[in-house]
Amino acid sequence: MSLDAEGHALLLKRIDYRDADLIVTLFTYDYGKVQALARGARRSRKRFAGSLEPMHTLKVELTEPGRGQLYELRSASVATPRVQLTQRLERLEAAGRVLGWLRHALPEKSRDPQLWALAIELMDTLDATSSVDCPATLSQFGLRLLMALGWGIDFDHCVKCGSHCPPNRSATVSATQGGLICSSCGGAKTKLPGLLRARLSNAASGQHGLAAEDAGLALRLVEEALGAHADML
């Protein structure tokens, strides 16, 4: 990640506070996920200029907190607008789902340049002028997000006994328990054919994209795993 990312952020949530302030949750390159008070943000055109909207990459000026937990957001502007994304409903919904995952799953104040790069790559893909398979793109990001957070689903080994599942062999998986569960350990409800298991494993490591027909199952596994580890209620 280049130094150009310094001072950049994605808006994950905004809440009206007092007469004209906002409390915002940001995923920042510099600090990870933080909450900040934007004083007068609902009135100030000079310091915020209507920039506090999701989907775009923002350039922000933050002051670290003193006694309290909130940073102070002194100014914000749009660094990378994403017009294509905001004008297409399917892409907008996919991006909103990603921001929700990040809001619930990211730890507070934990800087992670690799995860930042992954999120920006996803947002830029959804903003592309070419066609985008939103479900497949979203599900691959979800699998990679789990890996980045240390919650990855192991599609190659039984998570109970550690036995390796040979390539091309069907197996059962439990996303909430983190991977395959072999028949000797009781198995799991979701069965994966061998080739699908390989595609999911490759997608989780960022090697290859998922096929369109894989997306529904992959998304279900991602959200089951996030629900087991993060506050996704």
CA distance 91 to 112: 25
> What pLDDT, in 10s, does the model give residues 62-71?
998 877 789 9
Q: Does position 3 have pLDDT exceeding 50, yes or no?
A: no
> What pLDDT, in 10s, does the model give residues 10-64?
999 999 998 889 999 999 999 999 999 999 888 877 788 778 999 999 999 999 8
CA distance 222 to 228: 10
Q: How confident is the model at residue 102 (pLDDT cuts 50, 70, 90)?
A: very high
Q: How confident is the model at residue 76 (pLDDT cuts 50, 70, 90)?
A: very high
Tell me if the pTM is above 0.85. Answer: yes
Q: Which H or E element spans position 174?
A: strand 171-174
CA distance 8 to 116: 10
CATH superfamily of 3-132: Nucleic acid-binding proteins (2.40.50.140)
Q: How confident is the model at residue 1 (pLDDT cuts 50, 70, 90)?
A: very low
CA distance 233 to 226: 10
> What is the average pLDDT score of the chain?
92
Q: How confident is the model at residue 232 (pLDDT cuts 50, 70, 90)?
A: low
Q: Over the Cα atoms of the chain, what is R_g?
A: 20
pLDDT at residue 43, as a whole number: 82
- For residue 3, give the DSSP letter: G
CA distance 16 to 38: 10
Q: How confident is the model at residue 132 (pLDDT cuts 50, 70, 90)?
A: very high
Numbered ranges of CATH 2.40.50.140 in the chain? 3-132
Give the three-state DSSP class for 18: coil
| Token representation of residue 212 | 């369109």
Q: How confident is the model at residue 2 (pLDDT cuts 50, 70, 90)?
A: very low
Residue for token digits 């992959």? Answer: 218
Amino acid residing at 73: L
pLDDT at residue 5, as a whole number: 84
